[in-house]
Structure 1
Amino acid sequence: MPNSFAYVALLAWPVVAIVLYATRPLVQATLWTMLGAQLLLPVGTFFKIPMIPQFDKFSIPSLCALAGCMLATNRAVRLWRSFGLVEGLMLVFLFSPVVTSLLNSDPIYVGRSVIPGVGLYDGLSAALAQFIALIPFLIGREFLRRMEDVQAVFVALVVAGLGYSLLLLFEIRMSPQLHFWFYGYYPSDFIQQIREGGSFRPMVFMGHGLIAGFFAMSVTVAAAVLWRAKVVVVRSAPAGAVTFYLGVVLVLCKSGAALVYGAVLVPLVRWTQPRLQAKLAVILVALALTYPAMRIAGVFPTNMLFDVASSINQDRAYSLKFRFDQEEQLLQHAGERLVFGWGRFGRNRIHLETWEGLAGDASVTDGRWIITLGQFGLIGFIAEFGLFSAPVFFALRALRKAASFRDAVLLAGLSLLTAVNVVELLPNSTLSPWSWLLVGTLLGASEAYAAKVRQRQPQAAPAAELPAMAELTGPVAFPDMPDRSRDRGTHIPVRPRNRPVG
């Protein structure tokens, strides 16, 4: 059970946000309100008011950032400027849970247990929860639209990574105890943080070692992006040394997937062209979008991946196989209501009758994709993963007309980091407000950059405003071309070429 300090920390975060917005520029205050909450607030502690989604480390910073941005700029956050693909996905994301709930009013009977149906009340509650989750996306799109803002995102990541690395190194040496010492409980099973040989995987205040490892990867990639863009974060240390140090911390976090991501992305952002990085990001999100279809069709190479994992580590291989088997069972259950899903409150999970005649939960849902597919169906999956993926495609289009190499590096680096966030949602459920803020920033920067390029393009004068060549019989003064003949006291008639004779 959480101690009183856990609740005090949640209640104190609006005060922290007020101080940030009163003392720092808007972009910095927004970044640290969101990122600081993810790094410091307790996992699993919440306040619940009837008919309102719970207030926790995810919803509180989002609402604080929304209020701070609106008060600082004296304007509301717009849902859209013009209706397009992203706006359509947002509407589906917000309102498809209502349709799902209305279609799942029937109860599920398992032995003597009854899993109740859901209805309009739950649909409206789910829609409100979806809106709160979408707030960081809207903030990023509205207020973090300049390339300077994208640079500020990477700087905040690196600064936070350097500070947080001390806590990570402490838990690597002493075991993951900080969350228990400060908040009175372990947010996940302690045994999951013990690796081979009795070493520890840190989690600090992020809930799980996998999430902490993914954060370590993100800050290492961010440091590499700033190194390539020649942006100095620590004046007393070279950018390469900062990247190397954060990479060492990533290795010590002992998270296999995060280590693979870092080993691939750091050389990419440091030594390859930004266009190639953006194209790779598009390929990654395309694979993530088609992953459910490949699993349903049975064409995803699960056996090959198991054989590869077996050649590296037998325990990791069987863990991967267990995950694939669970996904297969959950896919069969989701296929019964594939379009709009089963709804919330465990209806998307597999329940078996126990020897006592009660319902027993037999599911392990690790990936965000299978959770969304089971709860809200293909419609909900397309809406959520589409919102994460569309900005990557827009970034590639904006990158084609980058005005400077620095802009190209920053935009491509954020695109790659966003794409890896999407891929990580396949094996794990690491979705957070910070992830939504990154996606919104990428979308806003891509839209603003494309609009700026269009404004710089000169527009030709309409043909009706130009004099016909056959009618030119004297001097002509074109706009932006002053008549220099008058300065010399000479009148020079202008006669068009190929003028018809007679």
Structure 2
Amino acid sequence: MTANWFATIAFFAWPIVATILYRTKSFSEATLWTILGGLLLLPSNVSIKLEMIPAFDKNSLPNLCALAGCIALASRQRAVKSGFGVAEILAIAAIIGPVFTSINNRDTLVYGPTIIPGVGYYDGISALLSQLLFLLPFFIARRFLQKSSDTESIMRVLVIAGLLYSTLMLFEIRMSPVLSNWVYGYFPSGFVSEMRYGGFRPVVFMKNGLTAAFFMMTAFLAAVVFWRLKSGVVRLFPPAGVSAYLAVVIILCKSAGALIYAGCIGFFVRWSSPKTQVRIAVVITTIGIFYPLLRITDNFPTSALLDTAMVFSQERAESLKVRFDQEQQLLAHASQRLLFGWGRYGRNRLYEENYGKDISITDGAWIQIFGQFGVVGFLAQFGLLALPVFRAMSALKYTSSARDRVFLAALALIVALNLIEQIPNSSMSSWNWLLAGALLGRAEYLKAVASSPRKSFGAANIGKHSLGAGE
């Protein structure tokens, strides 16, 4: 998409913003705001491309800024160092896998007048660098956001960001989604697709209205955590009031998925035990991981879901049927290069044989990853998102305070929802990876302290600062 000159200024100004953040805030808060602020404020679907290096966009540029901050301040941060294990294997597969994908896709594809050239080593290296940049927040958060105070900071930042962003969302709900066009000179989504029930879904500077609503849902869940703990985030407003306000904003966003998540998961965050919450997170994660297998073997209850959707809306049922039909066709195409996929540049998509028209609808991130990078790519990326949830389940027993358990369980649920959201939609971002990395780092920290507190951290330090108080 073509944006105006201010979009370019925003990109080049972000390193300055990050520098100010790292100079004025704690390390964890600066890292959180650098990544999340880029997601919320920088233009979507726009990038700055320089020769021989991956494009700078709202994901990669904040990631590099956070990396620079970590390099500058890493010596001040104490952390548990993890050994070589499942997470490292998955990370290597996610980063190196695209090289093998490119090697296996050097053939030219011809669909009538549409010709898609083959790719090779150059594209493989480019994809490797892109994957590494995209996953940077996972590694940073896993290494440096391990303490209970860091998990609490994540929830607090989410609530504050949700409250601030809600003002822009309410403006667009009333005036239509115009802010991206006003500020950056373009609209990242289809304007008609954001019209719902006689009004509009807000987009602000996000990818689309669904992504904006999903972010607001996670902010609401974070607010419910503080409501449960009777702990205020904003001094002038009670935690219950903040939760109620964000719930109203979610309703006004007119996104059924975000509303269902908020209602169902919000109930468990507020009233169920942390152990129950983590178990629910594990169930959600398991469904997301096994979804492709269920679709390939035709064991997913598509007919039952279509019948249920028909009860609410024939239009939604028809839309869901189109999605399922497309997934089946794309899976058949992906199965031809099952292991490492078809690669990038539209090679994973479907085209008319005679006219070369692209006839694909790839809404879900899972089918995009599955088609581009195959089984290896899917298991690597979704495995990295799922692993922290499973690790959190086993680490929950090592927490030493109720407050710590509540924050850990809520973060596990948010990470699980981030994963399952990639089945119907595509909202993968640096922020998703940061949350997953922080959850994994926290779980590893708890296990390390429980197994060898004196050897790893010193008895005096453990005695002075309890785990629940931020270690």
Same topology, TM > 0.5: yes
| Structure 1 residue 273 corresponds to structure 2 residue 273 | yes
Residue in structure 2 matched with residue 381 of structure 1 by the alignment: 378
Q: State, as a whole percentage, how many aligned pairs show the same letter.
A: 49
Partners of 2:45 and 2:102 in 1: CA distance: 25
Once the two structures are superposed, what CA deviation does each residue of 1:217-245 show, in whole Å capped at 9, x if it has no partner?
Answer: 00000001122233320222211111011
Greater displacement, 255-264 / 448-457: 448-457
Partners of 2:74 and 2:92 in 1: CA distance: 25
Partners of 1:343 and 1:188 in 2: CA distance: 25
One-letter code aligned to 2:288? A
Greater displacement, 101-110 / 251-260: 101-110
Once the two structures are superposed, what CA deviation does each residue of 1:365-385 show, in whole Å capped at 9, x if it has no partner?
Answer: 110100011011001100000
Residue in structure 1 matched with residue 42 of structure 2 by the alignment: 41
| Structure 1 residue 440 corresponds to structure 2 residue 441 | no
Contact (CA 8 Å) 1:229, 1:410: kept in 2 or not?
A: no
Task: Classify 1:232/1:38 alpha carbon distance in 2 versus 1 (closer, same or farther; 3 Å).
Answer: same
Greater displacement, 221-230 / 165-174: 221-230
Residue in structure 2 matched with residue 303 of structure 1 by the alignment: 303
Partners of 1:57 and 1:64 in 2: CA distance: 11
Residue in structure 1 matched with residue 62 of structure 2 by the alignment: 61
Partners of 2:324 and 2:80 in 1: CA distance: 38
Residue in structure 1 matched with residue 459 of structure 2 by the alignment: none
| Structure 1 residue 428 corresponds to structure 2 residue 428 | no
Contact (CA 8 Å) 1:398, 1:449: kept in 2 or not?
A: yes
Scaled by the length of structure 1, what TM-score is found? Answer: 0.88
Contact (CA 8 Å) 2:217, 2:261: kept in 1 or not?
A: yes
Contact (CA 8 Å) 1:31, 1:156: kept in 2 or not?
A: yes
Residue in structure 1 matched with residue 108 of structure 2 by the alignment: 107
One-letter code aligned to 1:240? A
Partners of 1:83 and 1:212 in 2: CA distance: 36
Partners of 2:79 and 2:112 in 1: CA distance: 49
What is the deviation of 1:456? 4.7
Residue in structure 2 matched with residue 155 of structure 1 by the alignment: 156
Please give the secondary structure, in 2, of the residue aligned with 1:349. Answer: coil
Partners of 1:303 and 1:55 in 2: CA distance: 42
One-letter code aligned to 2:350? I
Contact (CA 8 Å) 1:70, 1:76: kept in 2 or not?
A: no
Residue in structure 2 matched with residue 117 of structure 1 by the alignment: 118
Partners of 1:378 and 1:452 in 2: CA distance: 36
Partners of 1:204 and 1:319 in 2: CA distance: 25
Please give the secondary structure, in 1, of the residue aligned with 2:200. Answer: coil
Residue in structure 1 matched with residue 258 of structure 2 by the alignment: 258
Please give the secondary structure, in 2, of the residue aligned with 1:114. Answer: strand
Please give the secondary structure, in 2, of the residue aligned with 1:361. Answer: coil
What is the deviation of 1:207? 2.0
Contact (CA 8 Å) 2:80, 2:448: kept in 1 or not?
A: no
Partners of 1:214 and 1:261 in 2: CA distance: 9
Residue in structure 1 matched with residue 468 of structure 2 by the alignment: none
Residue in structure 2 matched with residue 338 of structure 1 by the alignment: 338
- Match runs of 1:461-472 below 5 Å: none
Q: How many residues align?
A: 454
Please give the secondary structure, in 2, of the residue aligned with 1:49. Answer: coil
One-letter code aligned to 1:386? G
- Match runs of 1:31-430 below 5 Å: 31-74=32-75, 81-196=82-197, 198-354=198-354, 357=355, 359-430=356-427
Task: Classify 1:292/1:454 alpha carbon distance in 2 versus 1 (closer, same or farther; 3 Å).
Answer: same
Contact (CA 8 Å) 1:70, 1:77: kept in 2 or not?
A: no
What is the deviation of 1:75? 8.2
Please give the secondary structure, in 1, of the residue aligned with 2:55. Answer: strand
Once the two structures are superposed, what CA deviation does each residue of 1:82-140 show, in whole Å capped at 9, x if it has no partner?
Answer: 11111110111111111111111111121243211111111111011110011000111
Partners of 2:404 and 2:81 in 1: CA distance: 25
Residue in structure 2 matched with residue 463 of structure 1 by the alignment: none
What is the deviation of 1:318? 1.3
One-letter code aligned to 1:367? G
One-letter code aligned to 1:18? T
Partners of 2:175 and 2:61 in 1: CA distance: 31
Partners of 1:300 and 1:272 in 2: CA distance: 29
Once the two structures are superposed, what CA deviation does each residue of 1:433-475 show, in whole Å capped at 9, x if it has no partner?
Answer: 00000000000011001111123599xxxxxxxxxxxxxxxxx
What is the deviation of 1:421? 0.4
Once the two structures are superposed, what CA deviation does each residue of 1:291-310 show, in whole Å capped at 9, x if it has no partner?
Answer: 00000000101111111111
Gapped runs of 5+ residues in structure 1?
Answer: 459-502
What is the deviation of 1:212? 0.7
Contact (CA 8 Å) 2:173, 2:201: kept in 1 or not?
A: yes
What is the deviation of 1:418? 0.4
What is the deviation of 1:35? 0.8
Contact (CA 8 Å) 2:79, 2:144: kept in 1 or not?
A: no
Once the two structures are superposed, what CA deviation does each residue of 1:253-301 show, in whole Å capped at 9, x if it has no partner?
Answer: 0001010000111110110000000011011111111000000000101
One-letter code aligned to 1:213? A
Please give the secondary structure, in 2, of the residue aligned with 1:109. Answer: strand
Partners of 1:79 and 1:151 in 2: CA distance: 18
Residue in structure 2 matched with residue 17 of structure 1 by the alignment: 18
Once the two structures are superposed, what CA deviation does each residue of 1:168-223 show, in whole Å capped at 9, x if it has no partner?
Answer: 11111111100111111111110011012x21110111020000110110000000
Partners of 1:181 and 1:22 in 2: CA distance: 31
TM superposition outliers: structure 1 runs of 4+ over 2 Å: 73-81, 455-458
One-letter code aligned to 2:306? F
Partners of 1:277 and 1:455 in 2: CA distance: 27
Scaled by the length of structure 2, what TM-score is found? Answer: 0.94
Once the two structures are superposed, what CA deviation does each residue of 1:317-363 show, in whole Å capped at 9, x if it has no partner?
Answer: 11111111111110110011111111111110011145xx5x21110
Please give the secondary structure, in 2, of the residue aligned with 1:294. Answer: helix
Partners of 2:385 and 2:244 in 1: CA distance: 29
Residue in structure 2 matched with residue 476 of structure 1 by the alignment: none
Partners of 1:243 and 1:24 in 2: CA distance: 26
Contact (CA 8 Å) 1:79, 1:138: kept in 2 or not?
A: no
Please give the secondary structure, in 2, of the residue aligned with 1:52. Answer: coil
Contact (CA 8 Å) 1:269, 1:277: kept in 2 or not?
A: yes
Residue in structure 2 matched with residue 465 of structure 1 by the alignment: none
Gapped runs of 5+ residues in structure 2?
Answer: 456-471
Partners of 1:294 and 1:112 in 2: CA distance: 36
Contact (CA 8 Å) 2:114, 2:357: kept in 1 or not?
A: no
Partners of 1:113 and 1:180 in 2: CA distance: 32
What is the deviation of 1:80? 6.6
Contact (CA 8 Å) 1:43, 1:206: kept in 2 or not?
A: yes
Q: CA RMSD in A?
A: 1.7
Partners of 1:293 and 1:79 in 2: CA distance: 35
What is the deviation of 1:74? 4.1
What is the deviation of 1:388? 0.2
Partners of 1:346 and 1:264 in 2: CA distance: 37
Partners of 1:223 and 1:90 in 2: CA distance: 32
Q: Which has the larger radius of gyration?
A: 1
One-letter code aligned to 1:281? A
Q: More helix per residue: 1 or 2?
A: 2
One-letter code aligned to 2:441? G
Residue in structure 2 matched with residue 485 of structure 1 by the alignment: none
Higher relative contact order at CA 8 Å, sep ≥6: structure 1 or structure 2? Answer: 2
